[in-house]
Amino acid sequence: MDTLIETRNLTKTYRLKRGLFGKEDIYALKDVSLSVRRSEILGVVGESGSGKSTLGKLILRLEKPSSGEVVFMGKDAFKIGKEYTKEVSVVFQDPRSSLNPRMRVKEIIEEPLIVHGVKNRKDILEEVLQKVQLPLEFLNRKPDDLSGGQRQRVAIARAIALKPKLIVADEPTASLDMSVQQEILKLFENLKHQGIAFLFITHDIRVIDKIADRVAVIYGGMLMELGHKEEILSNPLHPYTRFLLSNVPVKHPKFRREEDFKEVEYTVPQEGCPFAPRCPDYMQECSKSVRRSEFNGRLVSCNLY
């Protein structure tokens, strides 16, 4: 499969005040290198504050990196013009806040088409509503007239109206109940088969199991592990991936796995592994450096390997 977009040593820092006169650069993302291939779903998983959404914002060009690159189809994403927003779209977590309540569904979906000067908008509106499985009569409704699942379908219809090659989906099912989640995930799968790739961001590794082709595990702004879903979930290499899997609810208490992970407040360190303070396999070198290894295309950042 061809690479559609990749990040190369992508880093984002924020300067925060320390005391009266001091300042410190805090990492939100640190040296993250990964790629999304055409027509695949790359799941990005990690706890809240791990850097997942920062990665999405950088790929969407909502923020600029402190260092590193975002390369889209061989070109620097930040040097591409307005056409980049036609090729790379987004679905946010909460459709209630991402959809303008004063606009009708027709206007919401049509807005990016108008911005890019697209003609035959009526045909496109009908086409995308069909793809997200909403009746045409919804075009005259407003977001407050719709259920949560219906609003998210409208958000997806807007995202695909320009026929993008990539969609950044940032926790798109987190605000939905379980039955609606399944429907939305199925919709994403259908869109993948129609040629759209996804960077699918979530804190829930169970969602990754249902939809992703490959998985990127992020913690403390660093890429901990990257590989095919089946390999990551059946044989996790990084202790943090094991931690995420240990928190998945089990069908019966007898299947619960006890892991010796510590709960601590953390910030991304200037050096070493951010998971070190919580890790049951901690070694002294983990506070100073992290070894990155590759096994048959599978990446892991851990001094155990």
Q: Tell me the C-alpha to C-alpha distance, in Å, between residue 154 and each of 30, 98, 114, 132, 254.
A: 34, 10, 17, 8, 42
The per-residue pLDDT for range 136-159, each reduced to its tens digit, is 999 999 999 999 999 999 999 999
Query: Buried b / exposed e across 223-249, counting CB within 10 Å, b at 16+?
Result: bbbbbebebbbeebbbbbbbbbbeeee
Would you place residue 257 in the very low, low, confident or very high pLDDT band (cuts 50, 70, 90)? low
Give the separation between CA 187 and CA 172, rounded to whole angstroms: 12
Say which residue, 48 or 299, is predicted with more confidence: 299
Rounded to an integer, the average pLDDT of 102-131 is 95
Is the model's pLDDT at 263 over the cut of 80? no
Give 158-206 pLDDT, tens digit per residue. 999 999 999 999 999 987 888 889 999 999 999 999 999 999 999 999 9
- Nearest one of 181, 242, 207 to 41, comparing CA atoms: 207
Q: Which residues pair with 35 in a beta bridge?
A: 6
pLDDT band at residue 102 under the 50/70/90 scheme = very high
pTM of the model: 0.91
Q: How many CB atoms lie within 10 A of CB 97?
A: 11
pLDDT: which is higher, 176 or 8: 8
For domain 3-301, the CATH architecture is 3-Layer(aba) Sandwich (3.40)
**Contact assessment for residue 154 and residue 128, using Cβ atoms and an 8 Å cutoff:** no
